[in-house]
Amino acid sequence: MSFWNQLVDRFRGDAGEEINWEALLIEADLGVRLATEWVEELKENGLTRSPEKAELFLRDKMVKLVRIPPPLPIGKKPEVILLIGVNGSGKTTTAAKLGARAKQEGRTVHLGAADTFRAAAAEQLEAWGERLGIPVTSAAPGTDPASVAVRSLLAAQETGTDLLIIDTAGRQANKRNLLLELGKIKRSLQKKVEVVPHHSWLVADGMTGSGVLSQAREFHEAVGLTGLIVTKLDGSAKGGMVAAVRAELGLPTYYLGRGERPEDLKRFEAKDFVENFFGD
């Protein structure tokens, strides 16, 4: 039985009673705002007593909501991705996986190890770079991360690289001094090329559930996110936060991580995601 059907059974009242749809949708990590909105629409359409019809309605709503926008044109190389997130979300591994995907697609890639706070971060990214055949710009622990990001950009420009992926240090979304450091990285890059980074993506651990929305709010307010990558969706994570973040902040999810291998980072597809969410 799919997790969705388990939730429906769990929130189904006694015979003849309606399902507590709002509690169900919040439990599925859709967030209070979106859950309330969709329950009102279920009521308006007279669907609250029909789980099957309600599911079809919600499937359609979610597919339309979470579709990703068409890619923006990138001018001069390199295209730049800045990865942001809290400790343990999987940013460094995700940087490597993104690099592996791009290389398989025939693109040239450069990695920037701007996490100079965690002693092993640069070593981890360098190990991935050696394994994948991707050059890495790094520096000693304690080096100004903005300077590493800029050197990464210059190295990628010099070699005509297609894609630059910059890893940053994990930080709590409510620590203003650490968020200011992220702002410095972006400003330093923009002194070299005004339009970079083209993407500022939050890498979020799907196992934190509705906490992803809270993280996205804080980081978006502080540094201006452009999208989301959700990792660790191979366990009990429900995935509803993808819809919650899109509804509240307008941020699309571009990739989902469902395993440890580079090929386990999948490009986000709305239809596949909704089928997985509700169950085939």
State which amino acid sits at residue 56: L
User: 218-265: per-residue pLDDT in tens?
Assistant: 899 988 999 999 998 865 557 899 999 999 999 999 999 887 788 889
pLDDT at 14: 58
Taking CA atoms, 112 is separated from 101, 167, 236, in Å, by 16, 6, 32
Domain layout of the chain by residue ranges? 3-66, 79-278
Q: Note the pLDDT of residue 85.
A: 92
3-state helix, strand, coil in the chain (%, to 5): 50, 15, 35
Could you give the C-alpha distances from 116 to 87, 102, 103, 125, 135, in angstroms and in order? 13, 24, 25, 11, 17
8 Å CB contact between 92 and 121: yes
Per-residue pLDDT tens over the stretch 26-78:
999 999 999 999 999 999 999 998 999 999 999 999 999 999 999 888 889 99
How high is the mean pLDDT of the chain?
Answer: 91
Residue 66 is encoded by which pair of tokens? 């979470």
Nearest-angstrom CA–CA distance, 175 and 278: 36
Q: What is the pTM of this model?
A: 0.93
CA distance 132 to 96: 8
What span, in angstroms and rounded, lies between the C-alpha atoms of 53 and 41?
13
Distance (Å, rounded) from C-alpha 90 to C-alpha 256?
A: 12
Which pLDDT score is estimated for 175? Answer: 66
* pLDDT recorded at residue 29: 92
Strand, coil or helix: 92: helix
- The closest of 64, 66, 22, 62 to 278, measured between CA atoms, is 62
Residue of higher predicted confidence among 199 and 9: 199
Reply yes or no on domain 79-278 having CATH 3.30.9.10. Answer: no
C-alpha–C-alpha distance, residues 221 and 219, integer Å? 5
> Which amino acid is it at 86?
V
Spatial CB neighbours of 198, under 8 Å, sequence gap ≥ 6: 72, 74, 79, 80, 81, 226
**138 band by pLDDT with thresholds 50, 70 and 90:** very high
